Chain A
Amino acid sequence: MRKLALSDDILLKVDKPARYIGNEVNSAKKNKHDVDIRFCMCFPDVYEIGMSHLGIQILYDMFNRRSDVYCERVYSPWPDLSEIMKEKQIPLFALETQDPVKEFDFLGITIQYEMCYTNILQILDLSQIPFSATERTWEHPLVIGGGPCTYNPEPIAEFFDLFYIGEGEVVYDQVFDVYKACRKEGLSRRETLIRLAKIPSIYVPSLYEVTYKENGTIATFEPTVEGIPSHIEKSIVMDTSKIGYPEHPVVPFIKATQDRVVLEIQRGCIRGCRFCQAGMLYRPTRPRDVNELKAMAKEMITSTGYDEISLSSLSSSDYKDLKELITFLIDNFEKKGVNISLPSLRIDAFSLDIMSKVQDIRKSSLTFAPEAGSQRMRNVINKGLTEENILDGAGMAFEGGWQKVKLYFMLGLPTETEDDIKGIPELAEKIARRYYEIPKDQRNGKCNITISTSFFVPKPFTPFQWVPMCTKEQFLERAKLVNDTMKEQLNKKSMKYNWHHADVTILEGILARGDRNIAKAIRRAYELGCVFDAWDEYFHVEKWDQAFADTNIDVDFYTIRPRQKDEIFPWDFLDCGVSKAFLYREYERAKQEVVTPNCRMACSGCGAMKYEGGVCLEDKN
């Protein structure tokens, strides 16, 4: 029997020992001596979050299909265990073989949100791997980063040997083949990295040099060795039928956040909301074939035993065969005790009809994400939802028996005025009034409207990458205005308002558009004890404030400074397919409050047409 890395004593002392023992259904079992490459895949957050992530399941499945690779997994040890590991000098280990991570060839870290940056350092620290890539030798794995945050990898560039920019299915095979050849030839770590840097979409930060202007902005960004590209283009899968899908995903013993079969129905989004980074990064929209999805759904239920299935995409209502797919799922699985969990769909007759079939109307709620309270503001952010859409949808739903509504908005959007802010509770009021238009004997008591606002953070590769973000005080004033306005309204008793913490938003803003100078502050914050920043109970703003002060980082430079049109951004050396000219054009149209049509209505020339597929060529074959 496999020996565990942790003693019984420790495992019985910590919360949820199942996080650390591996052995899950469908986890990969291989003989580590039979492979050439050992890859440890890491999601730098707690097990239950990491196990819910589709991307890792995709890569884990794909890597383990290769007979020369054994891919294992590791997640952030929760603080209770992390403390014991530090004290007893127990090296961080992979779940499958329970071997130390430092013995692997690769440590792959998926970086899904900025607030996990200190967790990356915790992983390196517990693995006993030096923080700086330049201090590592062949005694250590190559640390490779991937995921959405690598679209501005600069704040964490120092900690990584290399980054993979874009969708993992495309060049990982090349990465493995080049690595194997380099090790066979006995090349140095640096020589190996130079070879890897020649593979498209691979960025090796140590091989590039940045110079700065006197005002702190970037002057130049250049490779320091010959033969590697000065611009790095994302990888993208254009034929979704040619790539595999994890039909036998790993099933955790303990309840994960996403504890169900997840079917990815398409990548990308046609909508072009101007605040949305994912909507720009994953262009063009590429649907999966509906018949393939049906077969996958069946296989995944059989292989996992899950009693729930959900669909994943940025905008499921835009998937053309949605009706066919959902009807299939209901017809085939509902009777077998499998629940269909619906993604947020646009509320219309169709979605209400299927929702009433798969959910208990009295308990379930309707979700609208208008993102902004006024039509003017929605035009600025290019959110195509109108007040009429919302009121019609809500009205239909109310008449169908629903009474709970959730509304999602952002505060602190560019050009936002007092009227826009007040528009948020006012919209909620109109929805409430629509509910009370239903005769008393036909409705079911009070309606229940929950307003949630998050604070807007400008992200790289969006039309708003140039804009200053609000200060903490400005954010909180805006939230207060929403709250005060709501409390003066007639139907205030049918409403509830939740807002986000402002401190964590400011930090997210610094990290999102930061440059290489930020690395020292992240390192300092970790030294001061920051970890699990994404968890309210572990987020300590005062420690971060001290970290920035100790490392002489001017926070305002990254957050509230207006950026010039021609400023070189830290992420400008990356090419995500969408041109900077398009993004600026969209920024100008935002200021003029002009809506840009979605990709199916008209092409706006974003640049993603160069990939020659997906929605760009729809109905053109």
Chain B
Amino acid sequence: MKIRIKFSKHGCMKFIGHLDIMRYFQKANIRAGLDVAYSEGFNPHQIMSFAAPLGVGLTSDAEYMDIQVKTTDSTADSLARLNAVMVDGMQILEYKRLPDDAKKSMSLVALADYYVYPKIEDSVFDNLTILTNQITKFMAQPEILVIKKTKKSEKVIDLKPHIHQFSMDFYNSKEEECLNQCAFFLSVTTGSETNIRPELVVNAFYEFLGREFCESNFQIHRQEVYTQIDGKYVPLGEMGEDIV
């Protein structure tokens, strides 16, 4: 049966890349005693897939991993067992059973929410009323053209239809020891077809302000990942059911 696991990634774990997080979970599942299903062949491996791999340096409260198990305990017991074998900075938030015909989460991702906040003082946040106005003006532009670089080419794209929300907000995180931290909140198109990285939007905004955006002064945090069902955005975790 298919299980969708939601976890958070904080602190020094942001330096562990996606492939190593996969390896980490292959071991964590064994430590937790999950009855995981394996592929066939001489080197059997756990059947596992991730919704939207997180880049090195980012923190998250909404990472989704799908696994297959032969049998399972209840959601509450499985959560307890998994959390007992986590390292600092990793926490399992959900453990839900998916319908057997569920598609891979990777193909379903449509949108993600992010906080982008400065790690060192940034004068953009000095006056929040002004900032809010500036964001409104930025978003009122007919189009927001940026150059998107890929490995192979550079192309001009219009960000505007991909920015579902852009506002000034406050980021709170016990794990990161940051309370009421001024931040940008962003809701942007995500997925295998079009994937808008939040720093692209913030960079365009700084350009709009005539300022320089230095990415390394900011922390990016993923807050939620959604799929689209009947025109509505639904967090990936809500596609599954708790096991009682």
Contact = CB atoms under 8 A, between A and B. Distances in A.
A25 B27 contact: yes
B20 A12 contact: no
Contact of A337 (B24, B46, B219): B46
A253 B43 CA distance: 21
Contacts of B33: 302
B177 A1 contact: yes
A24 B43 contact: no
B11 A11 contact: no
B30 interface: yes
B18 to A, nearest CB: 12
B87 A24 contact: yes
Contacts of A17: 15, 56
A236 B223 CA distance: 56
B12 A2 contact: yes
A301 interface: yes
Interface in A265-316: 301-307
Interface in A26-55: none
B27 A304 contact: yes
Interface in B70-107: 85, 87-89
B13 interface: yes
A2 B15 contact: no
Contact of A21 (B15, B28, B42): B15
Given A8-B119, A360-B42, A251 B12 contact: no
Nearest to B36: A337
A23 B29 CA distance: 18
B28 A305 contact: yes
Contacts of A359: 42
Given A23-B89, A303-B31, A18 B46 contact: no
Tell me the dominant secondary structure on chain A's binding face.
loop
A488 interface: no
B38 A337 contact: yes
Nearest to B173: A1
A388 interface: no
A24 B31 CA distance: 14
Given A8-B119, A22-B12, A253-B16, A1 B31 contact: no
Interface in B1-56: 10-13, 15-17, 20, 23-24, 26-31, 33, 36, 38, 42-46, 56
A337 B28 CA distance: 14
Contacts of B17: 18
A21 B12 contact: yes
Which size class do A's interface residues fall under?
20 to 34
A18 B16 contact: yes
A360 B40 CA distance: 13
B175 interface: yes
A304 B30 CA distance: 8
A18 B20 contact: yes
A66 interface: no
A307 B56 contact: no
A255 interface: yes
Contacts of A375: none
B12 A12 contact: no
Contacts of A581: none
A359 B12 CA distance: 38
Given A2-B88, A24-B87, A253-B24, A302 B31 contact: yes
A94 to B, nearest CB: 14
A337 B34 CA distance: 13
A11 B88 contact: no
Nearest to B42: A360
B31 A304 contact: yes
B11 A1 contact: yes
A339 interface: yes
Interface in B163-180: 175-177
A391 interface: no
A307 B119 contact: no
13 contacts: A1-B11, A9-B216, A12-B15, A18-B17, A23-B13, A253-B23, A255-B20, A305-B85, A307-B30, A307-B45, A339-B43, A359-B42, A363-B42
Given A2-B11, A302-B33, A359-B42, 18 more contacts: A1-B10, A1-B176, A2-B88, A4-B12, A11-B15, A12-B216, A17-B15, A23-B88, A24-B87, A25-B85, A253-B23, A254-B20, A303-B31, A305-B31, A306-B30, A307-B26, A307-B30, A337-B38
